[in-house]
Structure 1
Amino acid sequence: MALPASELQPDDARLLDDYSATVADAVDRVGPAVCRMERVADSRAAGQGSGFVIAPDGLIVTNSHVVGDVQAVRIAMPDGTSTGGRVLGRDPDTDIALVRADGHFSDIAPLGNSKRLRRGQIAIAIGNPLGFEWTVTTGVVSALGRSMRASTGRLIDDVIQTDAALNPGNSGGPLVSSAGEVIGVNTAMIRGAQGIAFAVASNTASFVIAEIIRFGRVRRAFIGVSADTVALSRRAALLSRVTSRTAVRLRSIEAEGPAAKAGLREGDIVSAIDGHAIGGVDDLVRMLTAERIDRETLFTVVGGSGIRQVAVTPSSRR
């Protein structure tokens, strides 16, 4: 049972005061830049979530699932002002979207470097859960480097797990460090579980934002295959020079796609790409980054007659 403040030892009371001041200062820095996002469809509000301003000219980060497939949004700020905005781009594979709001904003929420995070450090969530506007919850960074499945089926890597309480409406809001920097974009909680919630790391959000600003979308490499994960024999692993005991079998090949043009066939088992082990479908997806677009990439293919190398030149994913 918690002791009343009057019964705390002086050092304990000072620590609590320092903790409270740290959280309050971080909220004061970031809170004014956190907004309520409403989708607008046929001039009607069609769902809501949270977001935060990252630039004075009205760039706002939120979740892709918050904006859905609409182009227009309504944005409400803590000072009572509201404005319209348009969706510049969305990336369902990471659940990040970028919005341009009308007007100029004096308060912004700076994106921090999520690579510097440590388990146990303070995590502060700000958003609009269940219609309770501009709510603050606190916890810690529970784990780093988690993966979670996006609505597209692709794995989102480098996800932050936190026990800061999140509820519907928090989606798209910032997860903030004690230094007042955004370390993640709140995206999901596990229903029925207490103290398990997730945020897309700020470094992932920064990458997506840069891609959308430059290209209007996130570019990813495409080879035109569907695949599944299969066991890899010890002999095949040795021949492939990989330690993985699983690989990827190509289930189907898209006609006229990069894989088909390179000579890959249905049933081929891919154990490595450019010498890096491919232990499953998620590894294959993860390797097909924008850097491989229009660049010859070497696939190690395991067959009954041994190992062969196939040069594939991925195109830009549609």
Structure 2
Amino acid sequence: MTGTRRRSILQLLSVLAATLVIAGLWPASSLGQGLSAEQVKKLKAATVFVKVQAGIATVTGSGFIVRAEDKTAYVITNLHVVDIPIAPAPGQTPQTVKRSVDVVLHSGTADERIATADIAAYDPTRDLAVLRISGIADLPAPIDPNDSPKLLETMPVFVCGFPFGQRLGTQKNPEISIGPASVSSIRTGPGGQVAMVQLNGALNPGNSGGPVVTAEGQLVGVAVATIKGAGIGFAIPQHEVASMLKGRAGPIRLVPAGTDYALDVLIIDPLQIVKSAAVLVRPVDGDLPPRPGPDGPTAMPDAKRVPLPIQAATSSGRAPVKLADDGKRALWVQVELTTSAGKVLSAPAEVKLGDVQRPATTNRADSPFTSGPMLPAPTDRLPAKGADTDLVDLNRNPEGFAGKAVEFDALTSCGLKARDDGYELELMAESLKPPSSLRVVVPKDIGLQLSDLGVTPEDTFAIRVKGDVRKPVRGDVRHTVEVRQVQFVDSDGKATATMKPETAPPAGPPTLAAVNRFPDKFQGKPLVLEAIYTGIGFAGSGFEVKIVNDNNVKPLNLDLFTSKTVGSRAEDEIPRGPQLARLSCTIERVSAKTGHGIVGVNKIEILDSRTGKVAKTLAADDKIIYPYEPPPRPPAAPKPAAAAAEDEADEPVAAKGTPWRLIAMIVGGLAVLLIGGCVVGLVVMSLRRGKGDAEVEDTRTGRRADASRGEPEPAPRPVARPNPRARQKPPAGPGNPPDAFPGFGE
């Protein structure tokens, strides 16, 4: 195609597209309309670079200003950007390390300014956080979180932020990046509101927390996640940001409080506009509460209103409640907030004892199964009425307690390290210092019970430990406390939960916790387990099923796999995010190497979070591929007692309990090596001598004769060597045709 013809076709297409735009049949934005220079300038000023330090760990992300007044600004980002795991330096503990958050305005430019931020509010359910910076003059204009755009699949959007963080900074803080994307799917929640915006475009690590905007500069949402290699990203919708700034309730937990119970509620109030709060409660029997409508949730009928005092220091409230005598440890709960702008009512949610309720607008559903023992409130203090032994005294003089039974109080975040003899439990004294002369080892069953609680490193609980002190083993300088029992205790020293090693699962239908603790007891039996499904992973040539319990903890003692058909369908058909699920499975074997139960899942049922009914079923009969594990070596047959005694009687007295046997073995080995080397050398010399006698060379012809036949070998064909003095032939050319030289013609 010629250049003139190509230009003519392009001009024709341009005229056709312009005609369609004028006629209203083609959106103007699809012609590549981008952001105006003024919008780009505003977005660059409002988008900030977020840097977080937690010990030796450093994380960077993005954020944007949503409110600016006087010299104070409020910045939206993702919670996972600022709530990073603490990595203490040597000599530090997680409790002594503080996070620092810096917000960089006009990052990478001559106008760059850095401000230290504090977390004004956070929402763990929606992965959002509000940062507050103060003392900054001439703040940029914010991005309006209340300007809601009309979303449409395929509409172009722009992602603002700092992908790959400091790696693109060229020895300084990086400049902002603005990249194109488009809306590929609009995912809605149970109430019909937008729950997640799926994007088709480049979202990279470091974009988290940055704004996603339309071509007109309206906020679409907050960049939060991406699927690596798929070119698919996700954004938290704009209305979640607006709702967070207006104040709302966060996770709710039903906990024991003395002889009764209480509801602990996180209050999300970054602008400090919530004046008062209350909870509406009713029993779980009877009809289900009404679903939220287009105008939001309505109050539950026949609900009891209980005041919820707010503690400003913790941004939470606690309301005393009573449970019915029907044995059901659950309530329907709504939270009512009174703000300066009016009342805010949360959607009804069923809250169970020990569970953490998460709002129904998210994909993560409340689990209908029980969640382990009741724990007291987190604390950094030991109970007033302590145990018999002081942990500090035990750590100072462990030798004095060796071989004795001890009982002491300590603080713990339930951190565990796998060891050959169980799990090493991380604990501290009230000074928040770990014992340097002790290693506290719990049996595997107690370790699995502690892991299932899902305690975060930031929370510490008071525990009472009972065990026996043993002397150091295997070169470890620390004494070992072999734990027999762990109790969680309240401020008065009263035990609220007790954990002991058990040999059999509790009575009743199998639960995920019981199967995780005792996989060998359920081997070969068909099981139906309820869990929270989080996704499918690839394990070699098979598919791994990823699940967590209701405390968001992966079962440490189970490895789940499914067939290729179920795994592929789950990837395609199950929405992104945690889903309440029912798994039909069988424990095929218990790994001899790890002790984990190897579970085959042949059916996955996704359940409705409100009704518990099956919403989707994935099942297949094809073969499940498990990771290969070599069979264990059979143990050596024990020697009969009589033979062992006879061998011992025949052993020389000098060899018993002395190093003479070892010395004799070393000397004998060296002698064998020396004699063997001499023999090999003699054999090689003999072979070489025989080969020389068998070959005879003819001195006249240079030929070799075979002594066995008496005939000379044929002489090798001489090889022609170039003569350096010979005349070089000139190359063929116009004056030297090829046929003028012998050998160059045809």
Among candidates 74, 78, 102, match of residue 63 of structure 1: 78
Match of 1:164 in 2: 201
Q: Secondary structure at the match of 1:54?
A: strand
Match of 1:185 in 2: 222
- In the alignment, the residues of structure 2 paired with residue 17 and residue 119 of structure 1 have an alpha-carbon distance, to the nearest angstrom, of 12
- In the alignment, the residues of structure 2 paired with residue 84 and residue 267 of structure 1 have an alpha-carbon distance, to the nearest angstrom, of 47
Residues 190-269 of structure 1: pairs in structure 2 closer than 5 A: 190-194=227-231, 196-211=232-247, 212-215=269-272, 240=287, 260-263=322-325, 265-266=327-328
Give the drift of 1:99.
1.0
Match of 1:119 in 2: 153
- In the alignment, the residues of structure 2 paired with residue 164 and residue 60 of structure 1 have an alpha-carbon distance, to the nearest angstrom, of 24
1:134 maps onto 2:176 in alignment = yes
Match of 1:40 in 2: 53
1:27 maps onto 2:64 in alignment = no
Give the drift of 1:63.
0.7
Deviations 1:112-157 (A, max 9, x none): 444732222221101111134411221222222346xxxxxxxx96
CA RMSD of the aligned region, Å?
A: 4.4
Note the residue ranges of structure 1 that are not aligned, 5 or more in a row.
148-155, 228-235, 245-255, 271-275, 289-318
Match of 1:286 in 2: 359
- In the alignment, the residues of structure 2 paired with residue 240 and residue 95 of structure 1 have an alpha-carbon distance, to the nearest angstrom, of 32
- In the alignment, the residues of structure 1 paired with residue 131 and residue 38 of structure 2 have an alpha-carbon distance, to the nearest angstrom, of 27
1:101 maps onto 2:163 in alignment = no
- Decide which moves more: 208-217 or 179-188: 208-217
1:77 maps onto 2:119 in alignment = no
What one-letter code is carried by the residue in structure 1 that aligns with 2:236?
Answer: V
Q: TM-score, normalised on structure 2?
A: 0.28
Deviations 1:255-289 (A, max 9, x none): x986752446338899xxxxx998999xx84369x
Give the drift of 1:192.
3.4
Q: Secondary structure at the match of 1:123?
A: strand
Residues 205 and 125 (structure 1 numbering): CA distance in 2 closer, same or farther, change over 3 Å?
A: same
What one-letter code is carried by the residue in structure 2 that aligns with 1:166?
Answer: L
Alignment length (residue pairs): 245
Q: Quick check: 2:349–2:359 contact (8 Å CA) kept in 1?
A: no
Q: Quick check: 1:63–1:97 contact (8 Å CA) kept in 2?
A: yes
Q: TM-score, normalised on structure 1?
A: 0.61
Give the drift of 1:198.
0.8
What one-letter code is carried by the residue in structure 2 that aligns with 1:72?
Answer: S
What one-letter code is carried by the residue in structure 2 that aligns with 1:266?
Answer: K
What one-letter code is carried by the residue in structure 2 that aligns with 1:100?
Answer: R
Deviations 1:75-102 (A, max 9, x none): 2233441212322121111111111123
Give aligned-pair identity as a percent. Answer: 23
Note the residue ranges of structure 2 that are not aligned, 5 or more in a row.
19-27, 85-97, 169-174, 248-268, 292-317, 333-346, 362-746
Larger radius of gyration: 2
Residues 47 and 267 (structure 1 numbering): CA distance in 2 closer, same or farther, change over 3 Å?
A: closer
What one-letter code is carried by the residue in structure 1 that aligns with 2:62?
Answer: S
- Decide which moves more: 84-93 or 14-23: 14-23
Match of 2:445 in 1: none
- In the alignment, the residues of structure 1 paired with residue 42 and residue 326 of structure 2 have an alpha-carbon distance, to the nearest angstrom, of 54
- In the alignment, the residues of structure 1 paired with residue 31 and residue 204 of structure 2 have an alpha-carbon distance, to the nearest angstrom, of 27
1:145 maps onto 2:187 in alignment = yes
Match of 2:212 in 1: 175
Q: Quick check: 2:186–2:196 contact (8 Å CA) kept in 1?
A: yes
Q: Quick check: 1:112–1:183 contact (8 Å CA) kept in 2?
A: no
Residues 41 and 278 (structure 1 numbering): CA distance in 2 closer, same or farther, change over 3 Å?
A: closer
What one-letter code is carried by the residue in structure 2 that aligns with 1:53?
Answer: I
- In the alignment, the residues of structure 2 paired with residue 73 and residue 269 of structure 1 have an alpha-carbon distance, to the nearest angstrom, of 38
Residues 11 and 29 (structure 1 numbering): CA distance in 2 closer, same or farther, change over 3 Å?
A: farther
- In the alignment, the residues of structure 2 paired with residue 124 and residue 180 of structure 1 have an alpha-carbon distance, to the nearest angstrom, of 9
- In the alignment, the residues of structure 2 paired with residue 116 and residue 17 of structure 1 have an alpha-carbon distance, to the nearest angstrom, of 16
Q: Secondary structure at the match of 2:67?
A: coil
